[in-house]
Amino acid sequence: MKKSIQLILLFVAFQFSTLSTFAQEKAKQIEQLLNKYNEYGQFNGSALVAENGKVIFKKGFGSANMEWNIPNQPDTKFRLGSISKQFTALLIVKLAEEGKLKLDVPITTYLPDYPKENGDRITTHHLLTHTSGIPNYTNAPNFFKDKSRNPYTPEEFVKTFSSLPLEFTPGERFNYSNSGYFLLGYIIEKVSGKTYEQYLQEIIFTPLKMVNSGYDHSDVILKNRAAGYEKHGKQIVNAAYLDMSIPYAAGSLYSTVEDLYLWDQALYTNKLLNAKSMESLFKPYISAGRAFYGYGWFIDDVENGDKGKLKTIGHGGGINGFNTIISRYPSDKNLIVLLNNTGGTVLGEMNDAIRAILYNQPFNQPKKSLALDLLDIYNEKGAATGTETYKKLKNDPSYAIKENDMNRVGYQLLQDGKKKEAIEVFKINVETFPKSGNAYDSLGEAYLADGNKNLAIANYKKSVELDPTNENGKKVLAEISK
């Protein structure tokens, strides 16, 4: 009997040791991967990876503050951008669970001052699933120039978009809208009798001991807060100021990779919601391009090599100076969190590679972004030399053409008044990503800025054909086609 027990204990110890060795090997691969992305100027932030509910890797890369050379750490606080939406969604579902609001009644039930022509047709469910038809306020012309730096109360800011015509009949289709999640924050305040920030703290952050998370205020001295930066090619600059009353319930939260792990773990329990309410967050209510949208989460089945499909629940975020992603794999309680403080970067690509490491699948090694080198050449030597350089380097195996990077470089050139150069960059993107509606939309915008209406119309038409949800493209097309 004693021998049997000893054998069992030895077997358990051996299994534990083997699992620990596998985890260490994966952590080593993840670190090597992110070191290379950091070396190539594509990741400057903090990362956390959990396998089977246990953290196997967490580390900071690059600087939280470049002026003082302060490194990023696992407890560095980053602005989350749209990852905030999942917290807002849970608060709404909590109020519904308590019988304080209904998800299927008009929002004018809770916001009596909202214009009834639209408000009587829109439900809270529509807001949660981006199916309300309310135009996205961050897409408004000159939004960043005219509004983003000014403080607003929720009531004041709602009035800036509440009377706009709807882009489609509520419930008809998905179109991502920060306006909808801003309204959800306002509804939370009206129904709970507390500020959005207070209710968030009371319902989520305090119970989960998320002591390094909160609503970000620019004027508050916040220990371990990362500064936000943007890349102009290879040059890094301080991000433009954004008043945090503007993103509000759609994007004003900050957190750390460690706190987001606590959040992830809580979502497997009934600490915050009962089982039925928790399940409602992750239902695929509406098609959102290649994925589906639940309440504050994208839900997708991703390819997992020879293992077939893998369910993923996640969301990304982007806000001045910051780029974020959280990916959950509930079948294995795996988690990937990447928080970056140098503006837009290829977090999706990094996430895919880390997922492949977790599931023992092959993955693409990091490559330098061709866009970053091209910006300086187009800027300094003009369109012809820039395009010539592109043709020389595009087949170099150490470089990759990354759609979002090329797009950002094109807009940087456009912003600097270099229209011909911007057109060339956007043409490269269209050539490389011929199925991207966004690439054609950007090229159309550059042609329009350069005064070429015919080519602008042709590219906007192609964009809308490839991406029927491109409401802004449809609007511009209607205006210039008159």
| pLDDT band, very low/low/confident/very high, at 423 (cuts 50, 70, 90) | very high
* pLDDT for res 145: 82
Q: Is pLDDT above 90 for 15?
A: no
pLDDT band at 375 (very low <50, low <70, confident <90, very high): confident
Give the helix, strand, coil percentages of the chain, each rounded to 5: 45, 15, 35
Q: Judge whether 446 and 419 are in contact, CB under 8 Å.
A: yes
Residue 116, burial from CB neighbour count under 10 angstroms (0-12, 13-18, 19+) = exposed
* Rounded Cα gap, residues 405 and 413, in angstroms: 12
Q: Are the CB atoms for 47 and 338 separated by under 8 Å?
A: yes
Per-residue confidence (pLDDT) for residue 230, from 0 to 100: 93
Lowest-pLDDT range of 90-99, 170-179, 338-347, 376-385: 376-385
Place of tokens 């992750």: 282
Percent of the chain whose pLDDT exceeds 70? 96
Lowest pLDDT segment from 114-118, 122-126, 141-145:
141-145
Ramachandran class of 165: left when φ > 0, alpha when ψ lies in -120 to 50, beta otherwise: beta
Which amino acid belongs to residue 472?
A: N
CA 205 to chain centroid, in Å, comes to 21
Residues forming a β-bridge with 230: 237
Q: Which pLDDT band, with edges at 50, 70 and 90, does 305 fall under?
A: confident
> What gap in Å lies between CA 233 and CA 235, rounded to an integer?
6
pLDDT band at residue 5 using 50, 70 and 90 as cut-offs? low
**Spatial separation of the C-alpha atoms in residues 208 and 197, rounded to whole Å:** 15
pLDDT band with cut points at 50, 70 and 90 for residue 475 = confident
At residue 124, the 3 state secondary structure works out as: helix
* Residue 1 confidence (pLDDT): 60
For residue range 170-203, list pLDDT tens digits in order.
999 999 999 999 999 999 999 999 999 999 999 9
Mean pLDDT over residues 453-461, rounded? 93
Give CA separation, 353 vs 89, 108, 346, in Å. 29, 45, 11
pLDDT at 130: 98
- pLDDT of residue 19 exceeding 70: no
If you average pLDDT over every residue of the chain, what do you get?
93
What was the pLDDT predicted at 238? 96
pLDDT at 146 (0 to 100): 82
319-369 pLDDT, tens per residue?
999 999 999 999 999 999 999 999 989 999 999 999 999 999 999 899 988
CB 296 within 8 A of CB 280: no
Could you give the angle at the alpha carbon of 241 between the alpha carbons of 240 and 247, nearest 5°? 110
Distances (CA, A) of 470 to 102, 118, 139, 323: 30, 21, 11, 22
CA 32, chain centre distance (Å): 24
Lowest-confidence pick of 80-94, 266-280, 365-379:
365-379
| CA–CA separation, 431 and 198 (whole Å) | 49
The pLDDT tens digits of the residues spanning 219-250 come to 999 999 999 999 887 789 999 999 999 999 99
Q: Say if strands 235-238 and 63-65 run parallel, antiparallel, or are unpaired.
A: unpaired
Query: Token digits for 350?
Result: 């990094």
Cα–Cα distances in Å, from 7 out to 13, 17, 18, 19, 58?
A: 10, 15, 16, 18, 35
Q: Per-residue confidence at 8, pLDDT binned at 50, 70, 90?
A: low
Query: What is the set of domains in the chain, with CATH numbers?
Result: 81-223+235-358 (3.40.710.10), 368-480 (1.25.40.10)
DSSP structure string for 50-97: EETTEEEEEEE-SEEETTTTEEP-TT-BEE-GGGHHHHHHHHHHHHHH
Three-state DSSP state, 254:
strand
Per-residue pLDDT averaged across 19-37, rounded? 92
Residues 6+ apart with CB under 8 A from 156: none
d(C-alpha 372, C-alpha 228), whole Å: 19
Q: pLDDT band at residue 216, thresholds of 50, 70 and 90? A: very high
Per-residue pLDDT reduced to its tens digit, 32-85: 999 999 999 999 999 999 999 999 999 999 999 999 999 999 999 999 999 999
Q: 341, 228 in Cβ contact below 8 A?
A: yes
Could you give the 3-state DSSP secondary structure of residue 309? strand
Q: Quick one: pLDDT at residue 21?
A: 86
Per-residue pLDDT, 308:
83
Q: Which helix (H) or strand (E) holds 318?
A: strand 309-319
pLDDT at 98: 97
